[in-house]
Amino acid sequence: MEKYLYIDKNLAKIKETISIAQKSPNAAADVTLLLATKGADADIINYLSQKHGMIHIGENRVQQLLEKYDKLDKENLSIHFIGKLQRNKVKYIVDKVSMIHSLDSVALAQEIDKRAAMARRVMDVLVEINIGREANKGGIMPEEVDDFMDNIATYQHIRVCGLMTMAPKCYEKSEYRKYFRETYRIFIDISQKKLHNIQRPILSMGMSDNYDIAIEEGATIVRVGSAVFSNSNNY
């Protein structure tokens, strides 16, 4: 559709950037582009699915997900939850999402496990790392990830598939690299010790302003929103 021509152009540019970034020696062979659909309506999401074959979308607010859920082309979409998740909201999404990217406490793990058991499913999750050690952000501190993984290992209805991080806001784009590089080192260590039975462990990091650097440093999923949906060349 002509009204979505800007999205076609944005997506083409993003795919080209991903392709270039994947030439880095540390880049994963397969990188999944996840559309961070905060603020995007169901019509645009369905257009991206039906015309461009985009499968993976990520919502970061439970209420927004619920509002658009019935309008989505769910047969062709894999819905991820990528935002801060409160325990009392787990029950609303446990039957709707394929993965939760923001597991950051034992209490939340307990709630996800309980609700997934009630839904008779196993929920795929990523453990969120607070790589910038920021007091106002969620996530497990890097030095505590190993113990945290041990603490949640007994839950039968959670499958830890990898790690996720959100880098602190950096004024220079090149500054993101150190955070992604540190996360990748943790990811490799955890994958060898804890995720060795997962065929393709997941490392979710990188957003619209830094996804190329994240790919160069080993991300397997990048969460891109404004670079797709902005009707402007100034992203």
Counting as low any pLDDT under 50, the low residues of the chain are 233-235
pLDDT attached to residue 125: 98
Distance between CA atoms of 2 and 194, rounded to whole angstroms? Answer: 48
pLDDT attached to residue 232: 57
pLDDT attached to residue 163: 98
Q: Name all domains of the chain by residue range, CATH numbers in brackets.
A: 2-229 (3.20.20.10)
Helices (H), 28-154: 42-52, 62-69, 90-93, 106-118, 145-151
Site of tokens 């039957």: 95
pTM of the model: 0.95
Residues with Cβ within 8 Å of residue 131, at least 6 apart in sequence: 139, 142, 165, 166, 167, 168, 179, 182, 183
Tokens standing for 180? 């992604």
Smallest Cα–Cα separation from 102: which of 195, 210, 2, 205? 205
Beta bridge partners of 202: 162
pLDDT attached to residue 233: 43
pLDDT in tens, 145-159: 999 999 999 999 999
